[in-house]
Amino acid sequence: MTTVRLPENGRPPEEVLAQMDRMAADDPRWREGRTFSLVYHAGEAHNRFLHRAYEKFFSENGLNPTAFRSLKRFESEIVQISAALLGGDENTVGLLTAGGTESILLALKTYRDRFRHRLRLPGKPRVLVPASAHVAFEKAAEYFDLHLVRVPLAGDFRVDLGALRRRLLPGTALVVASAPCYPYGVIDDVAEIGELCKRRGIPLHVDACLGGFLLPFLHKLGEPIPPWDFRVPGVTSISADLHKYGYAAKGASVLLWRSMEYMRHQFFVSTDWCGGVFASAGILGTRPGGGYAAAWGALQVLGEKGYLELHGKALRAARRIMDGIRAIPGLEVLGAPPATIFAYRSTDPRVNIFAVGDRLAARGWHVDRQQRPSCLHAMITAAHEAVAESFLTDLRAAVEEVRARPELAKEGEAAMYGLIAHVPLRGMIRKNVLRMMEALYGHGGEQPDLAGEASAGEPVTRWAVRMLPFLEKLSKLFRKG
């Protein structure tokens, strides 16, 4: 592998920009609505506006809120607008973060410190999360030495309330609910969970990173969205991403608190550093001012009518695609998602859903795979209204192709995901994923060498290819057992 060095002489800007375009040639075609995650596109005009807003504050730094007062004003107004949307009042406080993961990390760090300050119980503070809660909670628990308890789901893919009640033991610092959860798009019963938490004096965080800037507008569009935000008395904090269904630039999320009684445990203060007294509200230090400006700008230029129009398009597209999936023999949508996020799987043993994903990828669609159960995942945005019919046409063709060619289940991504999803030795899987990460971030910083092309046209890394025979043997062994 050739090591890349700093050029001795600077290159012409246009030459560098042209190379950047070539490097992005194989990236997902999100402008065409061909992706179902990662990017939330409200059109080229809105995209150009976000670029302009970001560029105006490109060099400003959110590290010191007393220096660039414009950024603090953006943040304060974003928090106030968000609080009003999510059932808050004059006591609601919060901040802008770099994304949902930072919001979640910061929330768990804050609840940990509050718990230790108030109760001083031995052992790790317990955090109860639905089995479907975002993996960022697991990451936060690992970072901050918390005992994460994943609560099983009921048949409708929402958290099982009976199982939750049984786990509300002494030492519980926090309960988490999702609105909606990422894997299945369903909303946990926040009202009932909030009542449980309020009776026992346990805080409740609602992860609305997906739904925070979606559900309020779906409710206004007439969708029967149950109470899930600060209108529920037991809810003490909410995370909501502006850079998802708020159609802001990456990265922008808000973390809201019912009152300063909770948020004050969030702050970091150092008084003895040689550089002076230092205080910080978030995890990051330097924050690009462009993120503040673009988030504030998105709220201003779209307004309520703009969001209703965008989410109306997303809702129509989601209904059409879900109805189309249900009409395909051998496929079903999991649960009853009320929003625009859902998962779908195969009910036909002849149709491997991961192979369907491969055939969709071969047709230019970027789809995410999930496990437990094996399924494909979709987050529908306004951009998908124009491509709903072409996606369904390709999905029907993909299903029929896999049904006619069952050997596709043993090729490409389907083989890798299918085996990984069913091998019970998760430590072995973790070890090999860590090897992949070492390759990605090791010397050269490039993707692992490719061993060839999958049948879907997607690269399969050598570590995965080496793993396939071993995983297949393990899978057969456990099937026999």
332 close to 374: Cβ distance less than 8 angstroms = no
In angstroms, the CA 295 to CA 378 distance is: 24
Q: What do you get for the CA distance between the two ends of the chain, in Å?
A: 44
Query: Which residues, at least 6 apart from 305, have a Cβ–Cβ distance to it below 8 Å?
Result: none
Q: Residue 278: enclosing H or E segment and its boundaries?
A: strand 278-280
CB atoms within 10 A of CB 46: 19
Residue 430: the pLDDT is: 64
How would DSSP label each residue in 156-179?
A: TSSB-HHHHHHT--TTEEEEEEES
Q: Under CATH, what is the fold of the domain 54-299?
A: Aspartate Aminotransferase; domain 2 (3.40.640)
153 close to 159: Cβ distance less than 8 angstroms = yes
Q: What residue ranges of the chain are covered by domains with CATH 3.40.640.10?
A: 54-299
Q: How do the pLDDT tens digits run along the chain, 481 residues long?
A: 567 888 888 889 899 889 888 888 877 776 776 777 777 887 889 989 999 998 988 887 778 777 888 999 999 999 999 999 999 999 999 999 999 999 999 999 999 999 998 877 777 999 999 999 999 999 999 999 999 999 999 999 999 999 999 999 989 999 999 999 999 999 999 999 999 999 999 999 999 999 999 999 999 999 999 999 999 999 999 999 999 999 998 889 999 999 999 999 999 888 888 888 888 888 888 888 889 999 999 999 999 999 999 999 999 999 999 999 999 999 999 988 888 999 999 999 999 999 999 999 999 998 989 888 999 999 999 999 999 999 999 999 999 999 999 888 776 665 555 555 555 555 656 666 666 666 665 655 555 443 333 333 333 444 454 555 555 554 444 444 4
In angstroms, the CA 346 to CA 344 distance is: 7
In angstroms, the CA 357 to CA 414 distance is: 8
Give, in degrees to the nearest 5, the angle at Cα 469 between 464 and 473: 130
247 close to 310: Cβ distance less than 8 angstroms = yes
| Two structure tokens written together for 394 | 């390709």
| Two structure tokens written together for 105 | 């990390």
In angstroms, the CA 27 to CA 398 distance is: 22
HSE toward the beta carbon, residue 145, CA cutoff 13 A: 5
Q: Which residues of 445-462 are buried (b: 16+ CB within 10 A; e: fewer)?
A: eeebeeeeebbbeebbbe
Residue 475: the pLDDT is: 47
Backbone angles phi, psi at 341, to 5 degrees: -120, 130
Task: Reduce the DSSP state of residue 18 to 3 states and report it.
Answer: helix
Number of helices (H) and strands (E), helices first, in the chain? 15, 15
pTM of the predicted model as reported, rounded to 2 decimal places: 0.85
In angstroms, the CA 129 to CA 176 distance is: 5
Residue 299: the pLDDT is: 95
Q: How many residues make up the chain in this entry?
A: 481
Q: Residue 344: enclosing H or E segment and its boundaries?
A: strand 341-346
